[in-house]
Structure 1
Amino acid sequence: MSEEYEVHGPHDHAVEHAAAGHGGHGEGDPFAGRMAVITAILASIGAIFAYQSGTSENLALYYKNEAAIRKTEAANQWAYYQAKGEKENLAELGAALSANASETQRRFTADAERYRQQKEPIRAKAESIEKAVALDDERSEALMHGHHRWAQATTAIQISIALTAITLLTRRRWLLYVSMGMASAGVVLGALAFSSI
């Protein structure tokens, strides 16, 4: 039989203990209730920031992967372009080495012109793919920057939650102000991350 165990941190026990009225400060302690509400709000904000952080990171990795795939495709196009250029050069050499006005010279000249015309669309496609690679790289970098902002915001909120729990345990109001300052910093970082979307 499989049993699931739930592991609580020390601040979780303190919040539950205080919310139950066992904090040694009487039933229905309003300070403990406020700390519980603040903790719940901060945890909700932190969960949203953590989700956004993960989403930004996943999208950044997706675009980086797309860029890598397209780089390979562009390299293949440039190799194809080079192969056509070599065939063109060989046909021109064949034409130059053939007797003037001979059927062989006309065939080599026609082949050289055909290879020259075939190269242009290949070059254009390779350059187009390289532009797409650059765009995917830019998207990836921007999303990764956003991921870092979301992660910083999440960390600030987590620190604020921990400070709120310590505030509940120590009953130091100044600690509550420090906690709210950290929460404010987290919200500002989250707003900066949101504005970069």
Structure 2
Amino acid sequence: MSEEFEVRGPHEEAVEDAGHGAHHGTQDSFAGRVAVMTAVLATIGAIFSYQGGSTEGLALFYKNEAAIRKTEAANQWSYYQAKGEKQNLAELGAALVASDPKGIAKFNADIAKYQQQKTAIRTQAESLEKAVTEADEASERQLHMHHRWAQATTLTQIAISLAAITLLTRRRWLLGAALGVAGFGVLVGGAAFFGI
């Protein structure tokens, strides 16, 4: 014969006891209010947790974008350097054929072509470096907001724990502490929402 055991937490027992009192004709409004407060806090905490995960994902996305753009910028600078080396070889070639006007003209045309290509490559590389900086800054902003959301979630969880202890001990001052911590958690969540 198998026996199943149900493990119940103190918060669940206190809420059930409050419910039984209401069924037996005595209403425990204190326990009911704390239970509703706990449910509201759990909902707020879930929202904070979701937002924290979202901002963490965005922070990673922007950091990845920065890494990709940094690689592209490095490739552009390598390309720029290669064009510079070709320009240097063309300048050397022009110097070596100083007595041949056709040769000088060809090398000067190559020098101008490489100079023009280098200018376009440099512009592209600098643009990519700017994109790296912007993506890094966006990542840092999102990471800061993630920390705020995580702090707000933690404070909400602490408030829920205090509410459960309040139900068990029937200490009204603990309810004030739970409300205070919850209020502070909401303020931190607001700071995260506004990016502060």
**Normalization by structure 2: what TM-score?**
0.91
Looking at structure 1, the residues matched to 14 and 66 of structure 2 have their Cα atoms a distance apart, in angstroms, of 48
CA separation of 1:41 and 1:142: change in aligned 2, threshold 3 A: same
CA separation of 1:13 and 1:118: change in aligned 2, threshold 3 A: same
Shift of 1:31: 1.1
Matched, 1:45 2:44: yes
Aligned equivalent of 2:172: 173
Shift of 1:22: 5.7
State the AA in 1 paired with 2:123. A
Looking at structure 1, the residues matched to 106 and 77 of structure 2 have their Cα atoms a distance apart, in angstroms, of 26
Deviations 1:126-182 (A, max 9, x none): 101111111111100001000000000000000000000000000000111111111
Aligned equivalent of 1:4: none
Shift of 1:107: 1.4
- The answer (yes or no) to whether the contact 2:63–2:135 under 8 Å persists in 1 is yes
Matched, 1:31 2:30: yes
Give the length in aligned residue pairs: 191
Task: List gaps (5 residues or longer) in structure 2.
Answer: 1-5
Aligned equivalent of 1:13: 12
Matched, 1:140 2:139: yes
Deviations 1:37-62 (A, max 9, x none): 00001001101100110111000100
| Aligned-partner SS, 1:20 | helix
Which stretch shows the higher mean deviation, 92-101 or 63-72? 92-101
State the AA in 2 paired with 1:68. A
1:1-197 to 2 correspondences below 5 Å: 10-21=9-20, 27-196=26-195
Looking at structure 2, the residues matched to 83 and 11 of structure 1 have their Cα atoms a distance apart, in angstroms, of 71
CA separation of 1:104 and 1:17: change in aligned 2, threshold 3 A: same
Shift of 1:8: 6.9
State the AA in 2 paired with 1:157. T
Looking at structure 2, the residues matched to 58 and 89 of structure 1 have their Cα atoms a distance apart, in angstroms, of 46
Percent sequence identity over matched residues?
60
CA separation of 1:19 and 1:33: change in aligned 2, threshold 3 A: same
**Normalization by structure 1: what TM-score?**
0.90
Looking at structure 2, the residues matched to 18 and 137 of structure 1 have their Cα atoms a distance apart, in angstroms, of 53
Shift of 1:15: 4.0
- The answer (yes or no) to whether the contact 1:21–1:29 under 8 Å persists in 2 is no
- The answer (yes or no) to whether the contact 2:152–2:186 under 8 Å persists in 1 is yes
